[in-house]
């Protein structure tokens, strides 16, 4: 049996989690104060994922950049591939919060969406 | 002179929440004065996620979180002025402000909500020796440059201080192509949230050196390098532990200071620990009808708590202008001691309080399996075990009106940390 | 071909240039930095000494007292902040009181007016925050404080308006003797001139030694300082010096004309003439020494620390005049404290020498006055409104710590010998000089410089050279 220790990133509480593993399978999770901690631990030891936030260039807008995020979390290993696509993206104003900027970023099936508005000039 | 019932100083998360709540409490004459060109305050540059879990039960980025409050202020038809700097507030609540269009003007307010936020502690305050080249930025300034203006402060980065903005910027700079070599923290524990250490440093293999500080800064024009050294328990560098790092950028995330120049100017009493106004249960300062909330009151760890607190300040301001807020008659002092560094509020008037009063505080050092205790005079009425407490995170206790009423002669409420 | 090339745009070079600009003479000031006031003149105690320190009969003493006397008139003419706040030399050792008498006698011999020895009670009445151990003091009502940036910039602007050319970013590499003058070789080309005035601060020996066989040596003497927040500016009202004791020389504690409190300097001779770094030991020393004369110093209010270099010459005397074996080459060397106080007098003295030498005639169209930047903080609400109506940029605050508006920054950029860097803007307007130390206003000031001068953001510097502020765009 293998024990992995994690700090939960589900919320700012930052619970210290203990995950018992056997043959690559999660046996149990302890130390969490809510179900999100349990879910996080089970995922983190097998397939860690993150939400990526950054900025995308805007043309013809009231601001040169808008902030964006991946709509849901993507595999941790895809973060830099995702950033590459974000860095190459250009969007024309107007843009509204929630607009899809990149579809299926880095073949994750997840889209990158705007997290703020940009008005057209 | 123009008259307004409630003037809110600052259109960041605190000001926005205060305004919305004042309006909902029935006040129709509200004005937000904001110095930036848009509402939202510092949230506009906090493009990372992690906001709103408490308030909206979902994880939002800073601009999205701000966006919801801005929408609410717009929908409620609350008046605001942008690009407007408040220069002075008199003790009689005359506000002198200025902008390009209206020039310098004065407003007579009935109630004032202070919501100016906080600013970053600068290098000078730490008195780090060395040269004074370009390339030394506070983390928040770098955040603005990167996220709002689209400029990279530099490519090879060392960060001093493990406050949340420093941790967030370690990840941001890395994602944007810079190399973050190390984050150094003077204290033996981080000042930031644990989740940020995991997601911003561990994920990218950025080392965090606790009990370390910058002891030298090199470079006459642009920064060329810094020296780190380990510090002893008093914070003094230990000889022989120096390590040189070549870098062109040093980011400082070494603390936030409530921005109370205006409050001091109007004569509001300032707490020596929080550097924010001393307030009572209604979040009212030492000047009647002047309320404070958000980071100007005390530096918060989560914006959700700012919104909650500000909502209360706004509501009380509305009550004050409609004469529904009773005169404070016999406030009971709340004393934070023995591990609890301060409390907000500092007094509670039992007649004036709502059914529950959230008292927030921070601990002075890290604790494991210690207890938060609350005493009514000599009687312990709360003894709550906490697995972990750290100075970077706010703690809270809730005082109940019913319970307090059982102690009619109560002199003092004490909050302390106990080992057992 | 110029009549006079002045090397160095510090306070001395600018004072000389300004005095020369009264005459019908072509003058060029060459400065290796991107702005005036970038060397010794920018990092010092900002004090106008009364003049009791220097040895009686010395040039230092004479020019100090003279410079001090000129300061009121000059600050009116050129519109820079100067306050005659008075100074106290305090004695903390009852056995050392005779030292005060010595200073008093020397001051009287030097022509310092109004000097008075006061007892411990009067000293504490004048300055309640003096340490309890203070047992007597020398009071000099003529001591003053000045803004060294504004003084230097005012002199430069006035010189410029009166026809002096300023070549910035121009470093003198070589000085070659010509039959009738000198060829000054710089990184920006060669400049021929009849005369050279060497006002190069810590580098004055380098240029002197290029033309003279009688070598001089200027040692850089580093002085470290701490600057405290406005909140501490009234901790003392006079400039407090410590009478040297058995334990060594103390440091001064003084208000500044902008309402801060300054503490310093240390004094360490160093090899490196660019060594303007502060040191742990130096800063620790300051705190300890300042505490010997003034109590309850709020050291938590430190907003910045910095170091400056004094141009120390072995004889501890100003070297001013024509170099004997280099005709038409004039030194202003060894200008260490009280150099800032003496600068106006040095300017007059050098101009007088050159007037004689070149038989200069007064210009009829010399403009003696210069108006400083508009300071909205001194205006009434109505005046300020009028200003903003005409120029809306004055309604937009950029530096919130020091309440500096966009209008002031734009003006600083477009004035004669205007600002081109963040520090240039800072020295002229105080934007970035407050408690947040430019954290808030840097990006905004950069945008204004970018817009007004057409300099790319990537090319904007903190203080010239390679002090770039950003490395490029994110994407």
Q: What is the pLDDT of residues C210-268, one digit of tens each?
A: 999 999 999 999 999 999 999 999 999 999 999 987 767 789 999 999 999 999 999 99
Contact C252, C263 (CB under 8 A): yes
Using one digit for the tens of pLDDT, what is the confidence trace for A49-88?
A: 999 999 999 999 999 999 999 999 999 999 999 999 999 9
CB spacing of A97 vs B47 below 8 angstroms: no
Q: What percent of chain A has pLDDT over 90?
A: 71
Specify the DSSP element, H or E, that contains B88.
strand B85-89
Total domain count for chain A? 2
Residue A120, domain member (yes or no)? no
Contact C361, C152 (CB under 8 A): no
CB of B234 within 8 Å of a chain C CB? The answer is: no
Confidence check: pLDDT of C37 > 90: yes
Confidence check: pLDDT of A10 > 80: no
Tell me how far apart the alpha carbons of residues C198 and A87 are, in angstroms, rounded to a whole number.
Answer: 53
Q: Do residue A91 and residue A73 come from a single domain?
A: yes
Confidence check: pLDDT of C295 > 80: yes
Residue that the structure tokens 């940020």 belong to:
B196
Q: Do residue A98 and residue A61 come from a single domain?
A: yes
Q: Do residue A62 and residue A102 come from a single domain?
A: yes
Least confident stretch, A32-46, C337-351, C374-388? A32-46
pLDDT at B210: 97
Q: How far is C434 from chain A (nearest CA, A)?
A: 29
Residue A27, domain member (yes or no)? yes
Q: Do residue A37 and residue A64 come from a single domain?
A: no
Q: Do residue A92 and residue A110 come from a single domain?
A: yes
Residue A119, domain member (yes or no)? no
Confidence tier at C100 by pLDDT (50, 70, 90): very high
Q: Which of B102, B129, B149 sits opposite C278 (nearest CB)?
A: B129
Confidence check: pLDDT of C420 > 70: yes
Region A98-107: what's the mean pLDDT? 97
Q: Where are the beta strands (DSSP E) in C55-171?
A: 82-83, 87-91, 116-119, 136-140, 144-146, 165-167
Is-cis flag, bond preceding C16, omega within 30? no
Largest CA distance in chain A: 61
Q: What does the buried/exposed string (b/e) look like for B186-219 if buried means 16 or more CB atoms within 10 Å of the residue's CB?
A: bbeebbbbbbbbbbbbebeebebeebbbbbbbbb
Residue A91, domain member (yes or no)? yes
Q: Do residue A82 and residue A110 come from a single domain?
A: yes
Backbone Cα Rg of chain A:
18
Rounding to the nearest 10 degrees, give the CA dihedral for residues C373, C379, C383, C385.
Answer: 90
Q: What does the buried/exposed string (b/e) look like for C313-328 if buried means 16 or more CB atoms within 10 Å of the residue's CB?
A: beeebbbbeebeebeb
Q: Do residue A42 and residue A57 come from a single domain?
A: no
Q: What does the buried/exposed string (b/e) look like for A21-36 if buried means 16 or more CB atoms within 10 Å of the residue's CB?
A: eeeeebeebebbeeeb
pLDDT at C187: 97
**In this structure, what are the phi and psi dihedrals at residue C411, rounded to the nearest 5 degrees?**
-60, -45
Comparing alpha-carbon positions, the chain A residue that sits nearest to B387 is A15
Instruction: Give SS3 for B248.
Output: coil
Using one digit for the tens of pLDDT, what is the confidence trace for B302-338?
A: 999 999 999 999 999 999 999 999 887 889 999 999 9
Region A19-25: what's the mean pLDDT? 88
Chains in contact with A, counting 3 or more C-beta pairs less than 8 Å apart as contact = B, C
Tell me how far apart the alpha carbons of residues B297 and B291 are, in angstroms, rounded to a whole number.
Answer: 9
Residue A99, domain member (yes or no)? yes
Q: Do residue A41 and residue A59 come from a single domain?
A: no
Q: How far is A116 from chain B (nearest CA, A)?
A: 6
**A-to-B residue pairs, Cβ atoms closer than 8 angstroms:** 80
pLDDT at A12: 62
Q: What percent of chain B has pLDDT over 90?
A: 89
Confidence check: pLDDT of B127 > 90: no
Confidence check: pLDDT of C406 > 90: yes
Chain C residues whose CB is inside 8 A of the A87 CB are 474-475
Comparing alpha-carbon positions, the chain C residue that sits nearest to A64 is C475
Angle between helices B13-24 and B62-75 (to 10 degrees): 30
Phi/psi-derived region of residue B145, left when phi > 0, alpha when psi is between -120 and 50, beta in every other case: alpha
Q: How crowded is residue C377: how many other Cβ atoms within 10 Å of its Cβ?
A: 13
Using CB atoms and an 8 Å cut-off, which of residues 98-117 of chain B contact chain C? 98-106
Using one digit for the tens of pLDDT, what is the confidence trace for B66-78?
A: 999 999 999 999 9
Of B93, B91, B90, nearest to B31 (Cα)? B93
Confidence check: pLDDT of B379 > 70: yes
Comparing alpha-carbon positions, the chain A residue that sits nearest to B192 is A12
Per-residue CA distances from C44 to B124, B197, C321, C438 (Å): 17, 43, 24, 21
Q: Do residue A25 and residue A69 come from a single domain?
A: no
Residue that the structure tokens 């609400």 belong to:
C381
Residue A64, domain member (yes or no)? yes
Instruction: Give SS3 for B4.
Output: strand
Tell me how far apart the alpha carbons of residues C448 and C219 are, in angstroms, rounded to a whole number.
Answer: 39
Tell me how far apart the alpha carbons of residues C324 and C216 are, in angstroms, rounded to a whole number.
Answer: 13
Of B142, B128, B189, nearest to B170 (Cα)? B142
For residue A41, give its domain range: 2-47
Region B62-91: what's the mean pLDDT? 97
Tell me how far apart the alpha carbons of residues C255 and C246 are, in angstroms, rounded to a whole number.
Answer: 27
Tell me how far apart the alpha carbons of residues B231 and A63 are, in angstroms, rounded to a whole number.
Answer: 44
Paired sense of beta strands B103-114 and B94-99, if any: antiparallel
Q: Do residue A29 and residue A65 come from a single domain?
A: no
Of C309, C454, C453, C442, nearest to B134 (Cα)? C442
Q: Do residue A33 and residue A68 come from a single domain?
A: no
Domains and CATH numbers, chain C: 1-372 (3.50.50.60), 377-459 (1.10.10)
pLDDT at B157: 98
- Which of B96, B99, B132, B249 to mutate to probe the C interface, most C CBs <10 Å? B132
Q: How far is CA B49 from the centre of its chain?
A: 18
β-sheet bridge partners, residue B113: B8, B291
- Catalytic site includes residue C450: no
Q: What is the CATH number of the domain that holds A105?
A: 3.10.530.10
Using one digit for the tens of pLDDT, what is the confidence trace for C73-93?
A: 999 999 999 999 999 999 999
Q: Do residue A39 and residue A14 come from a single domain?
A: yes
More confident residue, C319 or C300: C319
Contact C89, C138 (CB under 8 A): yes
Chains in contact with B, counting 3 or more C-beta pairs less than 8 Å apart as contact = A, C
Angle between helices C11-20 and C339-358 (to 10 degrees): 40
β-sheet bridge partners, residue C30: C7, C167
Confidence check: pLDDT of B299 > 90: yes
Chain C residues whose CB is inside 8 A of the B85 CB are 396-397, 400
- Which of B41, B94, B103 to mutate to probe the C interface, most C CBs <10 Å? B103
pLDDT at B358: 96
What is the DSSP-derived secondary structure letter of residue B36? S
What is the DSSP-derived secondary structure letter of residue A53? E
Chains in contact with C, counting 3 or more C-beta pairs less than 8 Å apart as contact = A, B
pLDDT at B153: 97
Tell me how far apart the alpha carbons of residues A83 and A77 are, in angstroms, rounded to a whole number.
Answer: 11
Residue A121, domain member (yes or no)? no
Residue that the structure tokens 């202003």 belong to:
C332
Q: Which of B49, B148, B175 sits opposite A69 (nearest CB)?
A: B49
């Amino acid at each position: 049996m293998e024990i992995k220790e994690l700090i939960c990133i589900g919320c700012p509480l930052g619970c210290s989690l203990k995950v018992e593993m056997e043959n690559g399978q999660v046996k149990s999770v302890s130390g969490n104060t809510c179900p999100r901690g349990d879910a996080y631990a089970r995922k983190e030891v097998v397939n860690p994922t993150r939400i990526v936030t950054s900025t995308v260039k805007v043309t013809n807008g009231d601001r040169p950049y808008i902030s964006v995020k991946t709509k849901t979390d993507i595999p941790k290993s895809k973060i830099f591939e995702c950033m590459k696509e974000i860095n190459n993206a250009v969007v024309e104003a107007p843009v509204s919060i929630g607009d899809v900027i990149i579809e299926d970023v880095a073949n994750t099936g997840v889209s990158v969406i705007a997290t703020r508005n940009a008005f057209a000039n | 002179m123009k008259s307004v019932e409630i003037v809110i100083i600052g259109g960041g998360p605190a000001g926005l929440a205060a305004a919305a709540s004042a309006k909902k409490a029935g006040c129709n004459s509200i004005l937000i004065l904001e110095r930036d060109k848009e509402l939202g305050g510092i949230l506009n540059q906090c493009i990372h996620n992690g906001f709103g879990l408490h308030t909206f039960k979902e994880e939002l980025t800073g601009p999205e979180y701000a966006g919801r409050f801005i929408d609410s202020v717009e929908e409620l038809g609350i008046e605001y002025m942008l690009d407007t700097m408040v220069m002075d507030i008199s003790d009689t609540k005359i506000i002198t402000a200025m902008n390009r269009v209206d020039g310098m003007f004065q407003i007579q307010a009935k109630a004032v909500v202070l919501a100016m936020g906080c600013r970053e502690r600068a290098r000078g305050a730490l008195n780090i020796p060395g040269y004074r080249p370009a390339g030394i930025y506070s983390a928040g300034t770098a955040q603005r440059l990167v996220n709002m203006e689209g400029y990279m402060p530099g490519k090879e980065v060392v960060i001093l201080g493990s406050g949340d903005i420093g941790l967030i910027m370690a990840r941001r700079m890395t994602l944007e192509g810079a190399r973050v070599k190390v984050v150094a923290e003077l204290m033996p524990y981080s000042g930031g949230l644990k989740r940020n250490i995991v997601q911003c440093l561990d994920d990218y293999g950025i080392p965090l050196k606790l009990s370390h500080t910058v002891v030298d800064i090199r470079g006459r024009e642009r920064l060329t390098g810094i020296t780190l050294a380990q510090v002893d328990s008093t914070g003094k560098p230990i000889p022989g532990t120096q390590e040189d790092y070549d870098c062109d950028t040093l980011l400082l995330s070494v603390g936030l200071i409530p921005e109370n120049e205006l409050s001091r100017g109007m004569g509001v009493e300032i707490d020596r620990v929080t550097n924010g106004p001393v307030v009572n249960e209604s979040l009212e300062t030492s000047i009647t009808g002047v309320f404070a909330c958000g980071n100007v009151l005390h530096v918060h760890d989560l914006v959700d708590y700012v919104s909650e607190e500000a909502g209360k300040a706004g509501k009380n301001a509305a009550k004050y202008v409609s004469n529904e807020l009773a005169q404070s008659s016999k406030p009971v002092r709340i004393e934070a001691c023995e591990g609890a560094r301060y409390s907000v509020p500092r007094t509670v008037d039992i007649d004036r309080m709502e059914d529950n009063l959230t008292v927030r505080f921070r601990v002075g050092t890290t604790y494991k399996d210690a207890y938060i205790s609350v005493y009514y005079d000599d009687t312990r009425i709360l003894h709550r075990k906490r697995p972990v407490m750290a100075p970077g995170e706010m703690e809270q206790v809730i005082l109940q009106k019913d319970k307090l009423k059982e102690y009619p002669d109560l002199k003092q409420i004490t909050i302390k940390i106990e080992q057992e | 071909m110029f009549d006079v090339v002045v090397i160095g745009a510090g306070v001395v070079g600018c004072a000389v240039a300004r005095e020369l600009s009264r005459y019908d003479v072509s003058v060029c000031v060459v400065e290796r930095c991107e702005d005036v006031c970038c060397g010794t003149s920018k990092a010092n105690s900002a004090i106008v000494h009364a003049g009791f320190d220097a040895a009686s009969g010395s040039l230092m003493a004479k020019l100090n007292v003279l410079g001090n006397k000129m300061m009121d008139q000059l600050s009116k003419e050129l519109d820079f902040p100067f306050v005659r706040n008075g100074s106290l030399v305090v004695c903390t050792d009852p056995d050392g009181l005779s030292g005060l008498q010595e200073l008093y006698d020397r001051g009287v011999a030097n022509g310092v007016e109004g000097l008075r020895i006061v007892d411990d009670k009067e000293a504490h009445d004048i300055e309640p925050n003096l340490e309890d151990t203070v047992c007597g003091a020398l009071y000099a009502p003529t001591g003053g404080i000045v803004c060294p940036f504004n003084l230097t910039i005012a002199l430069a602007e006035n010189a410029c308006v009166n026809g002096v050319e300023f070549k910035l970013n121009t470093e003198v590499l070589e000085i070659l003797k010509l039959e009738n003058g000198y060829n000054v070789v710089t990184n920006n080309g060669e400049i021929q001139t009849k005369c050279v005035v060497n006002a190069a601060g810590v580098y004055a020996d380098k240029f002197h030694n290029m033309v003279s066989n009688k070598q001089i040596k200027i040692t850089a003497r580093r002085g470290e300082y701490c600057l405290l927040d406005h909140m501490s500016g009234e901790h003392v009202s006079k400039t407090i010096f410590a009478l040297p004791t058995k334990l060594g020389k103390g440091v001064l504690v003084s208000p500044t004309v902008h309402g801060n409190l300054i503490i310093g300097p240390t004094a360490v001779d160093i090899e490196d003439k660019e060594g303007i770094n502060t040191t742990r030991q130096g800063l620790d020393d300051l705190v300890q020494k300042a505490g010997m004369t003034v109590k309850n110093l709020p050291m938590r209010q430190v907003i910045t620390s910095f170091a400056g270099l004094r141009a120390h010459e072995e004889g501890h005397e100003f070297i001013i005049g024509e170099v004997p074996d280099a005709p038409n080459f004039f030194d202003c060397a060894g200008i260490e404290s009280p150099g800032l106080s003496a600068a106006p007098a040095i300017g007059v003295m050098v101009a007088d020498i050159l007037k004689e030498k070149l038989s200069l005639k007064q210009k009829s169209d010399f403009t003696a006055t210069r108006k400083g930047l508009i300071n909205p903080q001194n205006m009434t609400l109505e005046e300020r409104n009028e200003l903003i109506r005409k120029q809306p940029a004055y309604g937009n605050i950029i530096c919130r710590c020091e309440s500096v508006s966009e209008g002031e920054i734009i003006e600083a950029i477009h004035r004669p010998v205007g600002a081109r860097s963040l520090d240039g803007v800072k020295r002229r307007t105080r934007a970035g000089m407050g408690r947040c130390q430019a954290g808030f206003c840097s990006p905004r000031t950069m945008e204004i410089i970018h817009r007004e001068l057409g300099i790319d953001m990537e090319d904007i510097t903190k203080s010239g050279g390679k002090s770039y502020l950003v490395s490029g765009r994110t994407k």
